[in-house]
């Protein structure tokens, strides 16, 4: 398995992989492949990494800038994260999340937020951050990982490609 930036030749395989990974997911409305395409079309993918397994796209992670309190910020939103169903549970997801966080840190990001399962994202250091809020889901599902000690506060807004979903 190797992790590398997405390439133009991966685009169709990424959309299919993301669709399969979220198919039947309880919190999915099937919008995830379109979110990735929308972020890419708007050049808003701050992270777009592929986990390549046997020369195929086995996993994918994206991140995009978020706005905080109505203003552009140095923070990013992680997701979607997707691993081919047959390859789940082998550490690909963890490797992708770690690589995405390392890339954001190296790029000077202030931090990263994620909307997801606390039991999964907690292992990477994500936790609810008082004052940093996302309207809608129960507070424990919206988590943050600060890369520095700058205090951030306010409501977080994802890129428009997430539509009403995020």
Ligand X SMILES: CC(C)(COP(=O)(O)OP(=O)(O)OC[C@H]1O[C@@H](n2cnc3c(N)ncnc32)[C@H](O)[C@@H]1OP(=O)(O)O)[C@@H](O)C(=O)NCCC(=O)NCCS
Give the nearest distance from C-beta 3 to ligand X in angstroms.
Answer: 12
Q: Is residue 80 near ligand X by the rule CB under 6 A?
A: yes
Sketch the per residue contact string, 82 through 121, with ligand X: x for CB under 6 A, - otherwise.
xx----xxxxxxx---------------------xx-xx-
**H-helix or E-strand spanning residue 64:** strand 56-68
**Which lies closer to ligand X via its Cβ, residue 68 or residue 143?**
143
CB of residue 149 to ligand X, shortest distance in Å:
27
Instruction: Give the CB-side neighbour count of residue 107, counting CA atoms within 13 A.
Output: 17
* DSSP state for residue 123 in the 8-state scheme: G
Q: Does 74 bind ligand X (CB under 6 A)?
A: no
Q: For residues 77 and 109, is the Cβ–Cβ distance under 8 A?
A: no
Nearer to ligand X, 67 or 90 (CB): 90
For ligand X, the closer CB: 89 or 130: 89
Beta carbon of residue 114, minimum distance to ligand X (angstroms, whole number): 7
What one-character-per-residue DSSP string does 4-56 give? EE--GGGHHHHHHHHHHHHTT-TT--S-HHHHHHHHHHTT--SEEEEEEETTE
CA distance linking residue 137 with residue 135, whole number of Å: 6
From the list 93, 75, 79, 76, the residue with the least C-alpha distance to 33 is 79
- Give residues 8-27 in contact with ligand X (rule: CB under 6 A): 21-22, 25
Chain residues that interact with ligand X, rule: CB under 6 A: 21-22, 25, 79-83, 88-94, 116-117, 119-120
């Amino acid at each position: 398995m190797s992790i590398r930036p997405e390439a133009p030749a991966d685009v169709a395989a990424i959309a299919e992989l993301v669709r399969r990974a979220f198919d039947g997911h309880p919190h999915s409305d099937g919008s995830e492949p379109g979110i990735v395409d929308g972020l890419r079309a708007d050049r808003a993918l701050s992270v777009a990494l592929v986990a390549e397994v046997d020369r195929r796209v086995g996993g994918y992670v994206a991140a995009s800038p978020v706005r905080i309190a109505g203003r552009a910020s140095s923070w990013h939103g992680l997701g979607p994260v997707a691993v081919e169903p047959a390859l789940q549970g082998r550490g690909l997801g963890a490797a992708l999340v770690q690589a995405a966080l390392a890339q954001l840190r190296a790029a000077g990001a202030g931090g990263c937020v994620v909307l997801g399962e606390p039991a999964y994202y907690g292992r990477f250091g994500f936790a609810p951050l008082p004052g940093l809020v996302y309207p809608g889901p129960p507070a424990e599902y919206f988590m943050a990982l600060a890369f520095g000690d700058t205090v951030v506060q306010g409501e977080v807004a994802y890129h428009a490609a997430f539509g009403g979903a995020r």
